[in-house]
Structure 1
């Protein structure tokens, strides 16, 4: 009887002699949950690993994960489908086993899907709109993530001198960054936040000019048009000046003749009273002579 107990004790010791897994952790990115681990020291190559989970609302009820019953060293366990309730809390545990041996369980830390997941960087595109930037944000199409996003944090940096500022705006797929300097390049980095999650990864800087710069061909066209307008302006000014001088030359002779005529008339008017006076004097003398003759004739008739 004692021998049987000794053999049973030795069998149990041999069965749990495998080293337990270590560094068991649950990582989550955009609500995709993954369990990872490291095999214990001196774990043989034929060792496999099995995973179980526990919900906070169902304590002491560990359930096996069907997709993670026989993992090998280096593999991970996807827990996205078994962590169905994002508001619940979960634990996971893993142990090693062989056909003749098992290890102790190694339990992960408590995991809360909504608050522990990492919100990944959104896809960002930026285009200029004069003195502003038009920002387009695209996030994963998962309905839960769309409801999770509440605000976006924008970090705007001016490429010319490194001046920067930040904005916190309500989450929208399209935003406008106003009051920028026209024709200057800005780089925008975007991260998203939620009310219960502050774990987020910022996007890569996306750069654009507030007003798109002109290409070389466009600059050549602009300078050519400016040169043509300048030449046309100079030509018009020259024509106006030359036309004015020509008109003055053409009008100068008639003007001189008119002035001479006016001066001559003025002179004639000054001498006109003398001629009239002489004419009046001659007329009076003629009348007086006629009167004397009539008086003489009358005297003769009386006599």
Structure 2
């Protein structure tokens, strides 16, 4: 690391000497930084104060093992506001790189502005896995797909762990699990009929990671309100009772009508008389 710092100091001093020899007059670019997601690296910068609108910008990179600045072919004539893709320039994820930016016009140049040292494998951010959640009684089943970058030749042999953050939506209770990657993962010993939300992130050995969006599911179908069920059952029972009473009343009337139709007239008359006698006695 000491030799690497000496190299950077030498480069800075060389830039200053070259600037004095050529009469640098443009302001140097500022805010030179490198961001990286899934080993895709992007350099951004801001023009220096009073940089003319027709100014262009050149990007060069150097790696610690070569110690020779090389221009990035796609970034030799950038305009203000544009970025530079350094993915191909930073081929070795285990090596340290530095980038620098210079403004220039047809007649003027600025001094170089150098970025911080960048190690692709540790400075990149691994994106979230794709996750789908479903219930299985007192558990959740997670279906997972890792970012494609983890299948690259540099990372395919690395052991990948996942971090799961589980939160119960009812009361906010939460816990975290660290588990090895599997396309299907089961989280057990949960409450039945309860909704849980799960986020997942990759836990690589060298890099940082972004968690996924929360995916929510019930462990089993959510229970219906017990009072609502009681009212429904009571209403159904009352309707059944009224229906039976109506059937009994209708059956009685139907039976009496049939008997009255089929009895002999004399018996019907006698029956009527007996009814009248009974009424008179009463």
**TM-score, length basis structure 2:** 0.70
Alignment correspondent of 1:182: 192
Greater share of residues in helix: 1
The equivalent residue for 1:5 is: none
Q: Give matches, 1:243-258, under 5 Å.
A: none
Matched, 1:68 2:78: no
| Matched residue, 2:177 | 167
Which of 142, 145, 170 matches 1:135? 142
* Residue 212 (1) aligns with residue 218 (2): no
Q: For 1:204 and 1:140, how far apart are their aligned partners in 2?
A: 14
- Pick from 5, 25, 38: which aligns with 1:30? 38
Q: Label 1:92 to 1:148 Cα distance change in 2 as closer, same or farther (>3 A).
A: farther
Please name the residue that 2:131 is paired with: 124
Structure 2 spans left out of the alignment, 5+ residues: 1-18, 245-282
1:85 to 78, 82, 92: 92
Distance 2:159 2:116 in 1: 26
Q: Which entry has the higher C-alpha Rg, 1 or 2?
A: 1
Distance (Å, rounded) in 1 between the aligned partners of 2:223 and 2:148: 37
CA distance in 2 between counterparts of 1:192 and 1:100 reads 50
1:16 aligns with 2:50: no
Gap change, CA 1:148 and 1:40, over 3 Å in 2 = farther
Measured against aligned partners, the alpha-carbon deviations of 1:234-253 in whole angstroms (never above 9, x if no partner) come to x9xxxxxxxxxxxxxxxxxx
- The 1-side partners of 2:206 and 2:71 are apart by 29
Give, in whole Å, the separation in 2 of the partners of 1:147 and 1:126: 27
For normalisation by structure 1, the TM-score amounts to 0.65
Number of the residue aligned with 1:250: none
Q: How much does 1:183 deviate?
A: 0.9
Q: Please, what is the CA RMSD of the aligned residues?
A: 2.7
Q: Which range is displaced more, 206-215 or 104-113?
A: 206-215
Q: State the aligned residue count.
A: 214
1:214 Cα deviation (Å)? 6.8
Q: CA separation in 2, counterparts of 1:44 and 1:149?
A: 51
Instruction: Give yes or no for the alignment of 1:41 onto 2:49.
Output: yes
By how many angstroms is 1:137 displaced?
Answer: 1.6
Return the offset for 1:88: 1.1
CA 1:109–1:82: 2 relative to 1, 3 Å: same
Superposed displacement of residue 185, structure 1: 0.3
State the shift of 1:212 in Å. 2.5
Counterpart in the other structure of 2:61: 53
Task: Check conservation: 1:126, 1:136, Cα contact below 8 A.
Answer: yes
CA gap 1:19/1:27 in 2 versus in 1, 3 angstroms: same
**Contact 2:128 / 2:147 at 8 angstroms: preserved in 1?**
no
| Residues 214 and 162 (structure 1), Cα distance of their counterparts in 2 relative to 1, 3 Å cut | closer
Matched residue, 2:104? 97
CA distance in 2, matches of 1:69, 1:215: 66
